[in-house]
Amino acid sequence: MNQARNAFLHPFAKPTKDKFIKLVRGQGALVWDDKGNELVDGMASLWYCAVGHGRKEIADAVAKQITTLEAYSTFDPFTSEPVEQLAAKLVSLCPIPDARVFFCGSGSEAVDSAMKLARLAHVQAGHPERTLIISRMRGYHGTNYGGTSAQGLPLNKIGYGPLVPDVEQVASDDLEAMSILMTQRGNTVAAVLAEPLQGAGGVYPPSADYLKGLRKLCDQHGAFLIFDEVITGFARLGTWFGANFYDVNPDLLCFAKAVTSGYQPLGGVFVGNAVRRPLEADADFFLRHGYTYSGHASACIAALVNLEIIEREGLRDRAVHIGKRIGDALKALAHDGVIDHARGDGAVWAAGLHASQNNVKIRDRMLELGAITRAINLDTNTFCPPLVITDAQLDKLLDAFAQAASGK
């Protein structure tokens, strides 16, 4: 047996692997490894670093908060100024009217929180029979037990024993399949969980009017609509949220990643009126859900400065420009037969490969050429660069992909 020698057990990696690229520095859309190699970050790390690496402005603000009061529990009876400021700021950006925001530490925690809040709200409304949560194939919803149960990526569910019951998947973008299951289960449906654009499953934008169809089905069947916007939130599609981009409002909206651009771990759930009302109806009801780091003060400061940068530097508009350049380049490669097809929206794109191509070999060749892509499934390379990437850096990223995909 090949026994790995390093102490760190890497996520989404072979436990036996012991050689990794050690990154030591980042600036804007560039990162450097310990051998001095410069790489264009084509993935914003893992879909999250919207404002780019090395932002001293965020670091200084976080350091100031840490030296003042790094964090304190926000369980009853405590709160802090950063969490109150961030909640107000986020609610002002949220597409859901009159929302409140629940904070946690990650996208995985956000999804699990939304699933729990959806079921809990039905209980408080007098409908404890509403427990079914329906999600979609190809959906990725993090790796906690709720999100693992809800995801439509079968390999990610193997080996973990019994998962959360009453969580089912239907074919992605198949409104008829969704309608049939909701009709069969009648008044036992709690919520439908969907990414507006399916991200980590390979970048699949929704088919026309699919999300509007989901909204209509949820309204017809008395179910909540949950959007997982961990990737699509905070300017990635050229709008604050995917709900704005596709013009469909959910009842619960999960976020993380670009809310801080990764400078501190932070996630959360926007809670709309349909869920708020039953939770707030009984003045004596006590919400028994939360995390040690819900509303972590230093993480909230990172988010506030990050959001200020997104606004100040016009990164929503920049996302539109970046997305057009990537989309046009990938479509041209597809037209020339270098790849099979391109798919994406806003500034998140995927190259769908031919069966004869190897996405991991393309990824590794791109690293040699000084650029980062992500290899997903067996047939996809993805692009989700920081929104501060320059046009010259974009050209280097796309040229490296074209060369690698051509086998050069």
pLDDT at 186: 85
Copy the structure tokens of residue 295. Answer: 């509303």
Kindly report the pTM of this predicted structure: 0.97
- The crossing angle, in degrees rounded to 10, of helices 210-221 and 175-185 is 10
CATH entry 3.40.640.10 includes domain 58-312? yes
The H or E element spanning position 335 is helix 315-335
Cα distance between residue 31 and residue 38, in whole Å: 6
Give the tens place of pLDDT for each residue, 311-342.
Answer: 999 999 999 999 999 999 999 999 999 999 99
Strand order in the sheet with 348-352: 341-345, 348-352, 380-383, 374-376
Identify the DSSP state of 350: E
Please report the sign of the dihedral spanned by the C-alpha atoms of residue 142, residue 147, residue 149, residue 150.
negative
Cβ contacts of residue 37 below 8 Å, gap of 6+?
Answer: 370
CB atoms within 10 A of CB 147: 29
In the chain, % of residues over pLDDT 70: 99
Please report the sign of the dihedral spanned by the C-alpha atoms of residue 178, residue 181, residue 186, residue 187.
negative
Identify the DSSP state of 30: E
Cβ contacts of residue 396 below 8 Å, gap of 6+?
Answer: 40, 370, 371
Give the tens place of pLDDT for each residue, 227-259.
Answer: 999 999 999 999 999 999 999 999 999 999 999
- Strand, coil or helix: what is 116? helix
Two domains, one topology: 58-312 and 315-405: no
pLDDT bracket for residue 129 (50, 70, 90): very high
pLDDT bracket for residue 152 (50, 70, 90): very high
Give the tens place of pLDDT for each residue, 335-390.
Answer: 999 999 999 999 999 999 999 999 999 999 999 999 999 999 999 999 999 999 99
Cα of 231 vs its chain's centroid, Å: 3
pLDDT at 2: 54
- Strand, coil or helix: what is 226? strand
Identify the DSSP state of 28: B
Identify the DSSP state of 259: G
- The crossing angle, in degrees rounded to 10, of helices 315-335 and 391-405 is 30
What value does the CA radius of gyration of the chain take, rounded to a whole number of Å? Answer: 21
What mean pLDDT is reported for the chain?
97
Closest CA to 236 of 46, 374, 28: 46
Q: Where are the domains of the chain?
A: 58-312, 315-405
Cβ contacts of residue 235 below 8 Å, gap of 6+?
Answer: 50, 258, 310, 315, 316, 319, 387
pLDDT at 3: 60
Identify the DSSP state of 207: P
- For residue 303, pLDDT over 70 is answered with yes
Which residue in this structure is represented by tokens 């047939």? 379
pLDDT bracket for residue 13 (50, 70, 90): very high
Cβ contacts of residue 180 below 8 Å, gap of 6+?
Answer: none
Cα distance between residue 379 and residue 367, in whole Å: 18
b (16+ CB within 10 A) / e for 359-383 = beebbebbbebebbbbbbeebbbbb
Please give the class, per CATH, of domain 315-405.
alpha beta
pLDDT bracket for residue 5 (50, 70, 90): confident
Cα distance between residue 28 and residue 389, in whole Å: 7
Give 150-201 as a DSSP string. H-S-GGGGTTS-S--SSEEEE-TT-HHHHHHHHHHHGGGEEEEEE-SSB-TT
b (16+ CB within 10 A) / e for 347-356 = bbbbbbbeee
- For residue 211, pLDDT over 90 is answered with yes
pLDDT at 341: 98
Which residue in this structure is represented by tokens 């350091």? 63
Give the tens place of pLDDT for each residue, 28-38.
Answer: 999 999 999 99
pLDDT at 396: 98
